[in-house]
């Protein structure tokens, strides 16, 4: 497959991944904590992901070198266990506005860690794209009519740890994608993550009244396990075979916009879309485009 076509597919995959995450804000909010607690929800996600990833891995049985075990362990801890536990518990303890503000730090952390850990070039154009995306996200958060009630210092701290751990994951998993398939990498990452999540989530998982759930609630849980966990992680990791971590990280800026659109379409909370939201979205899309476009030019030289 030509390199340009691969990059276009990678961008499409990253957009779809963040669309799923945007939808997840609406779906997960409707399930927690009435249906299932945050730790129990995460346990359901990692167990479900293992049941989906490992049968696929068994078809190819790709072996992993012992020299990569330490990196895989770190990816499982940062990208699955810490990332998911901190995000769900943080979102339960702070406001969506505060969480969105802190998550803006993720692409910036990815850019810095990429330069420090794997030697990715931090060009002025990448810096400009990340800054433009951050400006659009902050504009949407502060001027888009959001409310900041219900926040807490502990919740904010959890979200900050989540953002940092996800940034570490995006950077650390990149070298693995040059050696192994996305299925192999994510199978081992979720196996490591599930071992760490079980002690936290078992109590909440077993407390769920599974027989009393409605069909809509089952569909919501299935969507989070299959689409937001299995498909999203698979596509995101595959895209890292083609693009640099800073590009994948910048796509995170799309999540507030996509979440806002999804909320508006589902008529939840009376969300209105106006020129301010449009301007914010434009800044974010331009920032994502700038990072990706300039990276292609740099690689072509």
Reported as half-sphere exposure (CB side, CA atoms, 13 A), residue 9 has a value of 13
- Looking at residue 296, its pLDDT comes to 45
Contacts of 40 (CB under 8 A, 6+ apart): 201, 202, 203, 204, 205, 206, 207, 208
Over residues 216-239, mean pLDDT:
95
Residue with token string 């192999």? 184
Distances in Å between the alpha carbon of 28 and those of 35, 219, 245?
A: 10, 12, 26
**What value does the mean pLDDT of the chain take?**
84
pLDDT per residue over 191-208, tens digit each? 999 999 999 999 999 999
Over residues 286-294, mean pLDDT:
73
Over residues 89-103, mean pLDDT:
72
- The torsion angles phi and psi of 7, rounded to 5 degrees, stand at -65, -40
Q: Which two tokens stand for residue 89?
A: 């518990």
Helices (H), the chain: 3-31, 38-60, 69-76, 83-93, 96-103, 105-117, 124-143, 153-177, 182-206, 215-223, 232-239, 245-250, 254-265, 275-300
Query: 42-46, 216-220, 261-265: which has the minimum mean pLDDT?
Result: 261-265
Over residues 139-151, mean pLDDT:
58
- Looking at residue 140, its pLDDT comes to 65
- pLDDT tier for residue 267 given thresholds of 50, 70 and 90: low
Over residues 164-189, mean pLDDT:
94
- Looking at residue 294, its pLDDT comes to 47
Question: Is 259 a residue whose pLDDT tops 70?
Answer: yes
Where do the structural domains in the chain lie, given as residue ranges? 3-300
Question: Is 52 a residue whose pLDDT tops 90?
Answer: yes
Over residues 173-194, mean pLDDT:
94
- Looking at residue 2, its pLDDT comes to 60
- Looking at residue 298, its pLDDT comes to 44
Question: Is 87 a residue whose pLDDT tops 60?
Answer: yes
**Inter-residue contact 91 to 84 (CB < 8 Å):** no
- Reported pTM: 0.81
């Amino acid at each position: 497959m030509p390199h340009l076509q691969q990059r276009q597919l990678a961008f499409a995959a990253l957009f779809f991944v963040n669309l799923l995450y945007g939808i997840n804000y609406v779906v997960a909010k409707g399930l927690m904590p009435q249906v299932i607690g945050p730790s129990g929800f995460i346990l359901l996600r990692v167990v479900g992901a293992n049941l989906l990833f490992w049968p696929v891995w068994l078809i190819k049985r790709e072996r992993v070198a012992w020299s990569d075990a330490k990196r895989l362990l770190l990816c499982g801890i940062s990208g699955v266990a810490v990332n998911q536990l901190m995000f769900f518990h943080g979102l339960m303890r702070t406001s969506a506005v505060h969480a969105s503000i802190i998550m803006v730090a993720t692409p910036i952390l990815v850019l810095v860690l990429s330069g420090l850990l794997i030697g990715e070039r931090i060009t002025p154009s990448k810096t400009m794209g990340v800054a433009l995306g951050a400006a659009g996200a902050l504009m949407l958060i502060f001027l888009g009519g959001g409310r900041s009630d219900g926040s807490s210092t502990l919740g904010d701290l959890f979200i900050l740890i989540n953002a940092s751990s996800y940034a570490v994951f995006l950077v650390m998993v990149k070298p693995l994608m040059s050696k192994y398939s996305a299925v192999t990498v994510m199978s081992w990452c979720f196996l490591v993550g599930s071992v760490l999540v079980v002690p936290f989530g078992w109590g909440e998982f077993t407390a769920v009244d599974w027989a009393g759930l409605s069909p809509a609630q089952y569909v919501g849980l299935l969507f989070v396990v299959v689409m937001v966990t299995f498909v999203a992680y698979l596509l995101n990791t595959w895209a890292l075979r083609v693009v640099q971590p800073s590009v994948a990280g910048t796509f995170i800026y799309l999540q507030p916009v996509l979440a806002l659109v999804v909320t508006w379409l589902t008529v939840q909370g009376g969300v209105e879309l106006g020129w301010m939201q449009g301007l914010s979205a434009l800044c974010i899309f331009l920032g994502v485009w700038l990072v990706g476009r300039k990276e292609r030019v740099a690689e072509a030289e």
